[in-house]
Amino acid sequence: MTLELKAAATQDVAIFAPYYREPSKKSTLPYAITLYRSGEVMGERAIEGGTPIPFEAKWRISNLPSDLTLCRVMFDDDEELSYEVMMENSEFVDYLIDLIINMRNNEVVDFPQAFYSKLFRIQLTTPDLV
């Protein structure tokens, strides 16, 4: 599963650019902004030793990195498996950057472990899982 994304306009990227220092994140930022502006993504959450679970994530779009966004994730097309999390746009776009990098490397559309930790309000104890 992959996403077809075009780079966002330079002026849209410029407002978020100061929040990301790593070269791989900076180069992926224009595509993450495009994904962010779409307001949704569908993917699969890998389950260790099991079948991946499909998800759909939707969020509110706003223009400033410091604005808050509410993201709702529904698993397996089941309303009872819906979760919401609120965070600053800059943090959420960072998770979208990681999602895109993961997709490029593994051909899987999935958020990083740290996103799920925040979504499920679970404190990660192992530093390499963050």
Q: Count of CB atoms within 10 A of residue 13's CB?
A: 18
The C-alpha atoms of residue 79 and residue 18 are separated, in whole angstroms, by 37
Percentage of the chain with pLDDT > 70?
92
Helix (H, G, I), strand (E, B) or coil at 58: strand
**pTM recorded for the entire structure:** 0.90
The model's pLDDT over 11-60, given as tens digits with 9 standing for 90+, comes to: 999 999 999 999 999 999 999 999 999 999 999 998 888 999 999 999 99
Q: What is the pLDDT of residue 125?
A: 63
Domains in the chain: boundaries? 10-121
**Side-chain half-sphere of 2: how many Cα atoms within 13 Å?**
9
Phi/psi region, residue 45 (left: phi>0; alpha: psi -120 to 50; beta: rest), is beta
